[in-house]
Structures are given as C-alpha cells and as structure tokens.
C-alpha cells in the first residue's frame, strides 16, 4: 500500500462527475505487480488481489464487485477510507508487531538467542523479563495486565512457549516470538500460507467434527451421518499444534500451521439431492430463506462439516454440538462467514476462514423453504 502511494498509483480519481479519493485502477495495479516482480503473470496478480479482497484489505470503491477484476475499475485499500475492520484479532496482531519492533530496536534487548536442552531458540525471552519490560516501558499498568497481554499474544500465535507446554506466566519460563515481523515477505506467499491446501487433502473438514463420548485417551471422531458409510475419522482440535504432536496440553497457538494426520474417507457422497447454483439461490422469488447463526465453538470445534463449492453446503451436523444448538441443518448453503460473502468460494477456503477465525462463529446460511 505504501509503495503504491509513493508510486502515485493510489490517488484521487474522477469518474462520472464524482471524485473517488485514494484509489487505484485494477488493470494498472496488475501491470505494476508484474513490473515489480511481485507476480509472474496477470493470473497470479489477480489471485493475489482477490486474496486481499477476501481478507477485507481492499474493496471496490462502491462495493459493487465482490471479485477483483483485471479491468478499468476503481479499488481502494480499506485503511485509506477507514473501513478496515479492527477486530480483536487484528488489534492483538498489531500490538504484537508494535512490541516486537520496539524490542528489536533497543540496545540490550531482552530478545536473545537462547539455548535450552541443546536447542537454540531465536527471539527468545523469559516470561518474567517480558513482564518487567512491559511495566517499565509503560506498555501496561501492572503485572497482572502484562500477564493478560502475554496470554493474548500466545493465544493468537504471536509468541509461544519454546516447547508448547505452557501458557504465558510471570516466571522464568522461556518463550519466543513465533512470528519474525521483520522478515521481508513477498505477496506470492499469500497463495501458499493458509491451510486450504492441507485441508483439501482431507476428505472431510475434521476441525468441524466434535468428539462423541469423550475419552481422554481416545482421539477418534465419528461422522454424524447415520448411514452405512460411517467410518471412524481421526481428527484434531481447533488449530492445535500440540494436539498434532500428540500433546494433551490445552494451550495452543492459533497460527494456521496445520498438518492433518491421515484420515479415513467418510461420507464422500453429497447429501444434496441435486446441484444448486448461486444464480438459482439468489434469483428473485427463489424458494430459499436466509438465516443468521451464531455458533460458540467448544474445546474441539463447532460440530459441522462443510462440503462442495460455489456454493458450499452443510454436509453433516453433530446433533449434540454447538452448530445444531444454533439451528444449523444439513443441506443449508453457506452465504457468509463472519461477515464475509463466501458463495463464490470452495469448501477448503471456507474451512480455512473458519479455522483461523474467532471461536464465536457468525454464519449466514440459506435454507430451502419446505
């Protein structure tokens, strides 16, 4: 964004007797991405900008297009018009970045390379030293507030215990910044960093399935579809790195670094009686109603499986889970996730959005009128 401002690609533009401040022309930006080696071709450039749209970073100036089109259309960074959503997650991330920049720019920083159990950890620090520094620098009012900040940073995957065994405490336990905010990133990394690729290797969305008859020593999850194709599915807790490592510790990072264990194929056949298109769903007079569901996930997940694409549908719902309690049903179509329009996305992308989002999930679904 700042580079585009410097290059005068972002500026006030006039169209149909109206001035649109701080915007850019999509076609010009695609040219710029190729010229500055940020994208190898136009197709990749379009995918990159669509990624920014999907994450509410840019938008069409009149919000008339939900897709990024390589044309003479005007788009704008939400930071330039005050519509960038400062959710709790974004605020914590920005706070973590600010603290990191402050820590690495001072002499005698508490961030060091520390060796523990013959392993060297970069950007490492002791919990009690971080508490001392936060209070000393006026970043917090007291030690209790500092611990709360440290816990928020850990829960959002910005810092972590070096072996993922502890939450954040005011003690001489060793932690490290999991994110190196100063590493220069290229835009093309956006196409590879999310969990959709890992999710696509799994025939079901295991993060959605809840454990039935919980047993501390058993990590098997069961599909809720009552038919002869039911099989045991190995699944993991929501965004839990430690669960993947076989660690039962309940504290985990929500950084989307997900590697799922092999799973047995389960319910591969769609529950839909026939394919339904977006045009059919949205056409005037169509026999569908829209419902808003607020689902508060439990320690395992939300209790449903998303399948298909463009539009996605609800393939399975755990009758004893949070989704069922909120009113979710099989065969509903997913219209939006946490305010983001998703009818044009596939189930891997929607699964990624849910997986990396807040525990309280707000979904709009479209349901056939009986």
159, 177, 195 — which closes off a domain? Answer: 177
> Domain of 93?
88-177
Asked if residue 205 is part of any domain, the answer here is: no
Pair 113, 51 in one domain: no
What does the pLDDT profile of the chain (370 residues) look like in tens digits? 888 998 999 999 988 888 899 999 999 999 999 999 899 999 999 999 999 998 888 999 998 888 999 999 999 999 888 887 777 888 888 899 899 989 988 888 999 999 888 888 989 999 999 999 999 999 999 999 999 999 999 988 899 998 888 899 999 999 999 888 877 777 887 787 554 444 433 444 444 444 444 444 433 333 333 333 333 333 333 333 333 333 434 343 333 333 333 333 344 578 898 989 988 898 888 899 999 999 988 877 888 989 988 899 998 888 888 899 999 999 999 999 988 888 888 888 888 888 877 888 999 999 998 7
Pair 37, 110 in one domain: no
Determine how many CB atoms are found less than 10 A away from the CB of residue 311. 24
The answer, as to whether pTM is greater than 0.75, is: no
Helical pair 42-54 and 26-35, crossing angle rounded to 10 deg:
120
35, 55, 77 — which closes off a domain? Answer: 77
Asked whether 127 and 190 are in contact (CB, 8 A), the reply is: no
Asked whether 326 and 295 are in contact (CB, 8 A), the reply is: yes
144, 177, 210 — which closes off a domain? Answer: 177
Asked if residue 257 is part of any domain, the answer here is: no
CATH number at 168 reads 1.10.10.10
Asked if residue 326 is part of any domain, the answer here is: yes
Distance CA 346, CA 349 (A): 6
CA of residue 261 relative to chain centroid, distance: 20
Asked if residue 265 is part of any domain, the answer here is: no
Asked if residue 185 is part of any domain, the answer here is: no
Q: How many domains does the chain have?
A: 3
Alpha helix ranges (H) inside 77-236: 88-104, 127-136, 143-155, 196-200
The residues facing 25 across adjacent strands are 74
> Residue 312: what pLDDT?
94
Asked if residue 226 is part of any domain, the answer here is: no
**Ramachandran quadrant class, 285 (left: phi over 0; alpha: psi -120 to 50; beta: rest):** left
Asked if residue 335 is part of any domain, the answer here is: yes
Pair 356, 287 in one domain: yes
Distance CA 17, CA 10 (A): 19
> Residue 301: what pLDDT?
80
Asked if residue 239 is part of any domain, the answer here is: no
Q: Which residues, including other chains, have CB under 8 Å from residue 111's CB and lie 6 or more apart?
A: 103, 104, 123, 124, 125, 177
> Residue 193: what pLDDT?
58
Q: Which residues, including other chains, have CB under 8 Å from residue 317's CB and lie 6 or more apart?
A: 224, 303, 304, 305, 323, 324, 328, 329, 330
């Amino acid at each position: 964004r700042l580079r585009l401002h410097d290059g005068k690609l972002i500026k006030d533009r006039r169209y149909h007797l109206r001035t649109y401040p701080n915007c850019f022309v999509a076609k010009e930006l695609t040219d710029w991405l190729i010229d500055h080696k940020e994208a190898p071709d136009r197709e990749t450039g379009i995918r990159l900008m669509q990624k920014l749209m999907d994450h509410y970073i840019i938008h069409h100036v009149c919000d008339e297009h939900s897709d990024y089109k390589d044309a003479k259309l005007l788009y704008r960074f939400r930071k330039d018009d005050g519509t960038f959503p400062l959710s709790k997650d974004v605020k914590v991330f920005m706070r973590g970045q600010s603290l990191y920049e402050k820590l690495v720019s001072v002499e005698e920083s508490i961030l060091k390379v520390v060796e523990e159990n013959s392993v060297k950890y970069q950007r490492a620090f002791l919990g009690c030293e971080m508490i001392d520094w936060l209070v000393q620098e006026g970043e917090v009012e007291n030690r209790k507030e500092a611990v709360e900040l440290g816990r928020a940073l850990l829960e959002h995957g910005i810092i972590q215990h070096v072996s993922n065994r502890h939450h954040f405490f005011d003690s001489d336990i060793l932690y490290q910044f999991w994110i190196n905010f100063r590493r220069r990133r290229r835009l093309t990394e956006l196409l590879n960093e999310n969990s959709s690729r890992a999710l696509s290797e799994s025939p079901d969305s295991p993060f959605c399935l809840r454990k039935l008859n919980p047993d501390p020593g058993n990590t098997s999850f069961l599909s809720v579809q009552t038919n002869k194709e039911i099989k045991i599915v190995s699944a993991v807790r929501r965004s839990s790195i430690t669960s993947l490592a076989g660690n039962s510790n309940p504290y985990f990072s929500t950084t989307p670094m997900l590697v799922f264990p092999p799973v047995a194929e389960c319910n591969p056949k769609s529950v839909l009686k026939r394919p339904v298109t977006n045009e059919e769903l949205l056409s005037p007079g169509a026999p569908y109603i829209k419902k808003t569901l607020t689902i508060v996930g439990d320690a395992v997940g939300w209790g449903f499986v998303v399948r298909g694409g463009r539009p996605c549908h609800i393939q399975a719902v755990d009758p004893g889970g949070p989704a069922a309690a909120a009113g979710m049903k099989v065969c509903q179509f997913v219209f939006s996730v946490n305010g983001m329009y998703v009818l044009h996305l596939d189930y891997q992308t929607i699964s990624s959005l849910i997986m990396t989002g807040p525990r309280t999930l707000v979904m709009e679904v479209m349901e056939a009128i009986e």
